[in-house]
Amino acid sequence: MEITFINPNYLWLLFIIPLLVLTHFFSLRFSRKKAIKFANFEALSRVTGGHKLSMNLPILFLRFFTLLFLIFALSSPIIWYFGDSGDFNFLIAIDSSGSMLADDFNPNRLEASKIAAKEFLKEVPKGSKISLMVFSGTPFLMIPMTEDYGEIETAIDEISLSYSSGTALGDAIITGTNVLLVEEKGRVLILLTDGQSNVGTVIEKAINYANDNFVTINTIGMATLEGGKFMGLNAISKIDDNTLKSVAVNTGGSYYKATTNDELVRAYKDIAKVSRKKMPLKLSLWLIVLTFITLSIEWVLINTKFRSAP
Protein backbone atom coordinates (compact mmCIF):
# COMPACT_ATOMS: atom_id res chain seq x y z
CA MET A 1 0.00 0.00 0.00
CA GLU A 2 1.24 3.52 -0.77
CA ILE A 3 -0.06 7.08 -0.80
CA THR A 4 0.28 9.76 -3.49
CA PHE A 5 -0.91 13.37 -3.86
CA ILE A 6 -2.43 14.83 -7.03
CA ASN A 7 -1.77 18.41 -5.86
CA PRO A 8 1.35 18.11 -3.65
CA ASN A 9 2.07 21.86 -3.82
CA TYR A 10 -0.63 22.43 -1.20
CA LEU A 11 1.47 20.50 1.30
CA TRP A 12 3.60 23.63 1.68
CA LEU A 13 0.68 25.03 3.68
CA LEU A 14 1.69 22.68 6.50
CA PHE A 15 4.19 25.38 7.49
CA ILE A 16 1.18 27.41 8.65
CA ILE A 17 0.62 24.99 11.55
CA PRO A 18 3.49 26.35 13.73
CA LEU A 19 2.06 29.82 13.12
CA LEU A 20 -1.31 28.56 14.38
CA VAL A 21 0.30 27.36 17.62
CA LEU A 22 2.13 30.65 18.17
CA THR A 23 -1.03 32.63 17.45
CA HIS A 24 -2.98 30.54 19.94
CA PHE A 25 -0.60 31.19 22.82
CA PHE A 26 -0.20 34.87 21.89
CA SER A 27 -3.98 35.39 21.94
CA LEU A 28 -4.18 33.46 25.22
CA ARG A 29 -1.62 35.76 26.79
CA PHE A 30 -3.55 38.79 25.53
CA SER A 31 -6.77 37.36 27.03
CA ARG A 32 -5.11 36.89 30.39
CA LYS A 33 -4.10 40.54 30.48
CA LYS A 34 -7.70 41.52 29.80
CA ALA A 35 -8.91 39.16 32.51
CA ILE A 36 -6.79 40.89 35.16
CA LYS A 37 -8.92 44.03 34.65
CA PHE A 38 -11.91 42.22 36.18
CA ALA A 39 -12.26 43.17 39.81
CA ASN A 40 -14.55 40.27 40.64
CA PHE A 41 -12.59 37.09 39.91
CA GLU A 42 -15.35 34.93 41.35
CA ALA A 43 -17.78 36.35 38.79
CA LEU A 44 -15.21 35.84 36.03
CA SER A 45 -14.84 32.21 37.05
CA ARG A 46 -18.62 31.70 36.85
CA VAL A 47 -18.78 33.29 33.40
CA THR A 48 -15.91 31.31 31.93
CA GLY A 49 -16.47 28.09 33.83
CA GLY A 50 -13.02 28.40 35.37
CA HIS A 51 -11.22 27.80 32.08
CA LYS A 52 -10.43 31.32 30.96
CA LEU A 53 -6.94 31.28 32.40
CA SER A 54 -6.15 27.72 31.26
CA MET A 55 -4.16 26.76 28.18
CA ASN A 56 -7.33 25.90 26.20
CA LEU A 57 -5.46 22.92 24.75
CA PRO A 58 -8.60 21.13 23.45
CA ILE A 59 -9.33 24.15 21.24
CA LEU A 60 -5.73 24.19 20.01
CA PHE A 61 -5.87 20.48 19.15
CA LEU A 62 -9.16 20.91 17.29
CA ARG A 63 -7.79 23.82 15.25
CA PHE A 64 -4.62 21.85 14.55
CA PHE A 65 -6.55 18.90 13.14
CA THR A 66 -8.99 21.14 11.26
CA LEU A 67 -6.13 22.82 9.42
CA LEU A 68 -4.34 19.51 8.90
CA PHE A 69 -7.42 17.82 7.41
CA LEU A 70 -8.11 20.82 5.16
CA ILE A 71 -4.55 20.97 3.78
CA PHE A 72 -4.50 17.25 3.04
CA ALA A 73 -7.93 17.49 1.38
CA LEU A 74 -6.62 20.24 -0.93
CA SER A 75 -3.60 18.11 -1.86
CA SER A 76 -5.93 15.27 -3.00
CA PRO A 77 -4.31 12.21 -1.41
CA ILE A 78 -4.88 8.74 -2.81
CA ILE A 79 -4.16 5.46 -1.04
CA TRP A 80 -3.21 2.67 -3.43
CA TYR A 81 -3.76 -0.97 -2.59
CA PHE A 82 -2.53 -3.84 -4.74
CA GLY A 83 -3.77 -7.14 -6.04
CA ASP A 84 -2.16 -9.72 -8.31
CA SER A 85 -3.69 -10.00 -11.75
CA GLY A 86 -2.63 -11.38 -15.12
CA ASP A 87 -5.70 -10.12 -16.87
CA PHE A 88 -5.14 -6.70 -18.49
CA ASN A 89 -6.24 -4.65 -21.46
CA PHE A 90 -3.85 -2.06 -22.92
CA LEU A 91 -4.19 1.12 -24.92
CA ILE A 92 -1.13 2.48 -26.75
CA ALA A 93 -1.27 6.26 -27.25
CA ILE A 94 1.48 7.76 -29.43
CA ASP A 95 2.23 11.45 -29.92
CA SER A 96 1.93 12.28 -33.63
CA SER A 97 2.90 15.96 -33.52
CA GLY A 98 5.38 17.43 -36.00
CA SER A 99 8.37 17.31 -33.65
CA MET A 100 8.18 13.49 -33.75
CA LEU A 101 10.11 13.68 -37.04
CA ALA A 102 13.24 14.83 -35.19
CA ASP A 103 16.24 12.61 -35.96
CA ASP A 104 17.76 12.21 -32.48
CA PHE A 105 16.32 8.66 -32.56
CA ASN A 106 17.00 6.24 -35.40
CA PRO A 107 15.64 6.93 -38.00
CA ASN A 108 13.43 9.51 -36.21
CA ARG A 109 11.27 9.73 -33.09
CA LEU A 110 8.06 8.63 -34.75
CA GLU A 111 9.54 5.58 -36.46
CA ALA A 112 11.44 4.60 -33.31
CA SER A 113 8.23 4.78 -31.27
CA LYS A 114 6.46 2.59 -33.85
CA ILE A 115 9.24 -0.03 -33.74
CA ALA A 116 9.13 -0.09 -29.91
CA ALA A 117 5.33 -0.39 -29.90
CA LYS A 118 5.55 -3.44 -32.18
CA GLU A 119 8.07 -5.01 -29.77
CA PHE A 120 5.48 -4.49 -27.05
CA LEU A 121 3.06 -6.69 -29.00
CA LYS A 122 5.53 -9.59 -28.70
CA GLU A 123 5.79 -9.26 -24.92
CA VAL A 124 2.20 -8.57 -23.89
CA PRO A 125 0.41 -11.47 -22.09
CA LYS A 126 -1.70 -13.59 -24.41
CA GLY A 127 -5.40 -12.91 -24.16
CA SER A 128 -4.93 -9.23 -23.50
CA LYS A 129 -6.84 -6.86 -25.74
CA ILE A 130 -5.01 -3.88 -27.20
CA SER A 131 -6.17 -0.59 -28.68
CA LEU A 132 -4.19 2.01 -30.62
CA MET A 133 -4.57 5.79 -30.52
CA VAL A 134 -2.56 8.75 -31.78
CA PHE A 135 -2.80 12.31 -30.49
CA SER A 136 -1.46 15.80 -30.93
CA GLY A 137 -3.93 18.70 -30.55
CA THR A 138 -6.73 16.11 -30.55
CA PRO A 139 -6.75 12.34 -29.96
CA PHE A 140 -7.70 9.92 -32.76
CA LEU A 141 -8.60 6.27 -32.14
CA MET A 142 -7.09 4.10 -34.87
CA ILE A 143 -8.03 0.64 -33.59
CA PRO A 144 -10.57 -0.18 -30.82
CA MET A 145 -9.98 -3.06 -28.38
CA THR A 146 -8.97 -6.23 -30.21
CA GLU A 147 -7.01 -9.46 -29.72
CA ASP A 148 -5.86 -9.32 -33.34
CA TYR A 149 -2.27 -8.18 -32.82
CA GLY A 150 -1.64 -8.38 -36.56
CA GLU A 151 -4.27 -5.68 -37.09
CA ILE A 152 -2.61 -3.54 -34.43
CA GLU A 153 0.83 -4.00 -36.03
CA THR A 154 -0.51 -2.97 -39.43
CA ALA A 155 -2.12 0.12 -37.92
CA ILE A 156 1.14 1.04 -36.15
CA ASP A 157 2.91 0.99 -39.52
CA GLU A 158 0.28 3.37 -40.88
CA ILE A 159 0.77 6.03 -38.18
CA SER A 160 1.67 9.38 -39.73
CA LEU A 161 2.03 12.95 -38.51
CA SER A 162 -1.01 14.91 -37.44
CA TYR A 163 -1.44 18.50 -38.58
CA SER A 164 -3.41 19.46 -35.48
CA SER A 165 -1.37 21.93 -33.43
CA GLY A 166 -0.47 21.42 -29.77
CA THR A 167 -0.25 18.41 -27.48
CA ALA A 168 -3.42 17.49 -25.59
CA LEU A 169 -2.34 14.97 -22.95
CA GLY A 170 -5.50 15.50 -20.89
CA ASP A 171 -7.78 14.79 -23.85
CA ALA A 172 -5.70 11.71 -24.73
CA ILE A 173 -6.10 10.38 -21.17
CA ILE A 174 -9.87 10.88 -21.14
CA THR A 175 -10.36 9.37 -24.61
CA GLY A 176 -8.08 6.44 -23.76
CA THR A 177 -9.92 5.84 -20.50
CA ASN A 178 -13.26 5.72 -22.32
CA VAL A 179 -11.88 3.14 -24.75
CA LEU A 180 -10.63 0.95 -21.88
CA LEU A 181 -14.05 0.92 -20.20
CA VAL A 182 -15.40 -1.76 -22.55
CA GLU A 183 -14.39 -4.59 -20.17
CA GLU A 184 -13.93 -5.14 -16.44
CA LYS A 185 -10.25 -6.04 -16.68
CA GLY A 186 -7.11 -4.35 -15.47
CA ARG A 187 -6.89 -1.16 -17.56
CA VAL A 188 -3.48 0.12 -18.63
CA LEU A 189 -2.87 3.20 -20.78
CA ILE A 190 0.61 3.75 -22.29
CA LEU A 191 1.16 7.41 -23.12
CA LEU A 192 4.22 8.35 -25.22
CA THR A 193 5.11 11.95 -25.99
CA ASP A 194 8.11 14.15 -26.83
CA GLY A 195 6.49 17.38 -25.65
CA GLN A 196 4.30 18.90 -22.97
CA SER A 197 0.57 19.37 -22.56
CA ASN A 198 -0.45 22.82 -23.83
CA VAL A 199 -4.04 22.46 -25.05
CA GLY A 200 -7.22 20.65 -24.04
CA THR A 201 -8.36 19.23 -20.72
CA VAL A 202 -6.53 20.17 -17.51
CA ILE A 203 -4.22 17.34 -16.43
CA GLU A 204 -5.59 17.13 -12.86
CA LYS A 205 -9.11 16.62 -14.19
CA ALA A 206 -7.89 13.88 -16.54
CA ILE A 207 -6.03 12.13 -13.69
CA ASN A 208 -9.16 12.14 -11.54
CA TYR A 209 -11.21 10.72 -14.42
CA ALA A 210 -8.70 7.92 -14.97
CA ASN A 211 -8.67 7.09 -11.25
CA ASP A 212 -12.46 7.09 -11.07
CA ASN A 213 -12.41 4.40 -13.75
CA PHE A 214 -9.44 2.43 -12.35
CA VAL A 215 -7.09 3.13 -15.26
CA THR A 216 -3.35 2.84 -14.68
CA ILE A 217 -1.28 5.20 -16.86
CA ASN A 218 2.35 4.58 -17.75
CA THR A 219 4.03 7.57 -19.38
CA ILE A 220 7.08 7.63 -21.64
CA GLY A 221 8.98 10.87 -22.25
CA MET A 222 10.88 10.58 -25.51
CA ALA A 223 13.73 12.97 -26.37
CA THR A 224 17.49 13.41 -26.01
CA LEU A 225 19.12 16.37 -24.27
CA GLU A 226 20.79 17.38 -27.53
CA GLY A 227 17.55 17.23 -29.50
CA GLY A 228 17.40 16.52 -33.22
CA LYS A 229 16.55 18.07 -36.54
CA PHE A 230 13.58 17.85 -38.88
CA MET A 231 12.85 19.84 -42.00
CA GLY A 232 16.24 21.53 -41.51
CA LEU A 233 15.24 22.91 -38.10
CA ASN A 234 16.60 22.12 -34.65
CA ALA A 235 14.10 20.29 -32.44
CA ILE A 236 15.04 20.29 -28.78
CA SER A 237 11.92 19.02 -27.07
CA LYS A 238 11.03 20.43 -23.68
CA ILE A 239 9.48 17.46 -21.97
CA ASP A 240 7.45 18.30 -18.89
CA ASP A 241 8.90 15.57 -16.68
CA ASN A 242 6.96 16.72 -13.63
CA THR A 243 3.61 16.42 -15.40
CA LEU A 244 4.41 13.02 -16.89
CA LYS A 245 5.60 11.76 -13.50
CA SER A 246 2.47 13.16 -11.84
CA VAL A 247 0.20 11.43 -14.35
CA ALA A 248 1.97 8.10 -13.85
CA VAL A 249 2.45 8.16 -10.07
CA ASN A 250 -1.06 9.45 -9.35
CA THR A 251 -2.70 6.72 -11.43
CA GLY A 252 -0.56 3.86 -10.09
CA GLY A 253 1.78 3.68 -13.09
CA SER A 254 5.43 4.43 -13.85
CA TYR A 255 7.26 7.16 -15.74
CA TYR A 256 10.02 6.25 -18.20
CA LYS A 257 12.52 8.72 -19.68
CA ALA A 258 13.76 7.30 -23.01
CA THR A 259 16.82 8.89 -24.63
CA THR A 260 17.77 6.01 -26.95
CA ASN A 261 15.97 3.44 -29.09
CA ASP A 262 16.96 0.67 -26.67
CA GLU A 263 15.60 2.54 -23.64
CA LEU A 264 12.34 3.04 -25.51
CA VAL A 265 12.00 -0.68 -26.23
CA ARG A 266 12.88 -1.55 -22.62
CA ALA A 267 10.18 0.80 -21.34
CA TYR A 268 7.52 -0.95 -23.43
CA LYS A 269 8.77 -4.40 -22.39
CA ASP A 270 8.72 -3.41 -18.73
CA ILE A 271 5.12 -2.22 -19.02
CA ALA A 272 4.14 -5.48 -20.75
CA LYS A 273 5.26 -7.42 -17.67
CA VAL A 274 2.77 -5.71 -15.38
CA SER A 275 1.32 -8.25 -12.95
CA ARG A 276 -0.15 -6.18 -10.14
CA LYS A 277 -3.42 -4.36 -10.36
CA LYS A 278 -3.46 -1.05 -8.46
CA MET A 279 -6.72 0.25 -7.04
CA PRO A 280 -7.14 3.84 -5.78
CA LEU A 281 -8.94 5.04 -2.67
CA LYS A 282 -9.46 8.82 -2.84
CA LEU A 283 -9.41 10.49 0.58
CA SER A 284 -10.33 14.14 -0.16
CA LEU A 285 -14.05 13.78 0.55
CA TRP A 286 -13.46 11.99 3.86
CA LEU A 287 -10.95 14.66 4.91
CA ILE A 288 -13.46 17.42 4.12
CA VAL A 289 -16.03 15.62 6.28
CA LEU A 290 -13.50 15.42 9.13
CA THR A 291 -12.78 19.15 8.69
CA PHE A 292 -16.46 20.01 9.19
CA ILE A 293 -16.68 17.69 12.21
CA THR A 294 -13.72 19.31 13.99
CA LEU A 295 -15.04 22.79 13.12
CA SER A 296 -18.44 21.89 14.56
CA ILE A 297 -16.94 20.52 17.78
CA GLU A 298 -14.84 23.68 18.17
CA TRP A 299 -17.88 25.88 17.62
CA VAL A 300 -19.80 24.03 20.33
CA LEU A 301 -16.91 24.24 22.81
CA ILE A 302 -16.13 27.94 22.35
CA ASN A 303 -19.81 28.73 22.84
CA THR A 304 -20.17 26.59 25.97
CA LYS A 305 -17.28 25.28 28.04
CA PHE A 306 -14.61 27.61 26.60
CA ARG A 307 -16.71 30.68 25.87
CA SER A 308 -14.98 34.04 26.22
CA ALA A 309 -15.98 36.64 28.73
CA PRO A 310 -17.53 39.80 27.27
Q: Is residue 150 part of a domain?
A: yes
Question: For the residues of the chain, what is the DSSP string, one character each?
Answer: -EEEESSGGGGGGGGHHHHHHHHHHHHHHHHHHHHHT-S-HHHHHHHHTT-TTS--HHHHHHHHHHHHHHHHHHT-EEEEEEEE---EEEEEEEE-SGGGG-TTSSS-HHHHHHHHHHHHHHHSPTT--EEEEEESSSEEEEEEEES-HHHHHHHHHT-------S--HHHHHHHHHHHHTTSSSEEEEEEEESS---SSS-HHHHHHHHHHTTEEEEEEEE--SS-EEETTEEE-----HHHHHHHHHTTT--EEEE-SHHHHHHHHHHHHT--EEEEEEE-HHHHHHHHHHHHHHHHHHHTTTTPPP-
Residues 134 and 193 in one domain: yes
Q: Examine the domain organization and report whether 7 and 154 are in the same domain.
A: no
pLDDT at 57: 75
Tell me: do 169 and 43 sit in the same domain: no
pLDDT in tens, the chain (310 residues): 667 777 778 888 888 878 877 776 676 666 655 555 554 555 545 545 444 445 567 777 888 888 888 888 888 887 766 655 557 889 999 988 887 888 888 888 899 999 999 999 998 888 889 999 999 888 999 999 999 999 999 999 999 887 777 778 999 999 999 999 888 778 899 999 887 777 878 898 999 899 888 889 999 998 776 666 666 565 566 677 888 998 998 888 899 998 899 999 999 999 988 756 566 677 888 889 999 988 888 888 777 766 654 4
Same domain? For 44 and 99 the reply is no
pTM of the model: 0.67
Query: How high is the pLDDT of residue 90?
Result: 93
- Do 104 and 161 lie in one domain? The reply is yes
**Could you tell me if 127 and 199 lie in one domain?**
yes
Does some domain include residue 177? yes
The CATH number assigned to the domain holding 215 equals 3.40.50.410
Indicate if 206 and 132 belong to the same structural domain: yes
Determine, yes or no, domain membership for 307.
Answer: no
Same domain (yes/no): 40, 171: no
Q: Is residue 137 included in any domain, yes or no?
A: yes
Number of domains in the chain: 2
List the domain range (segments joined by +) for residue 96.
86-274
Q: Are residues 115 and 263 in the same domain?
A: yes
The answer to whether residue 308 is domain-embedded is no
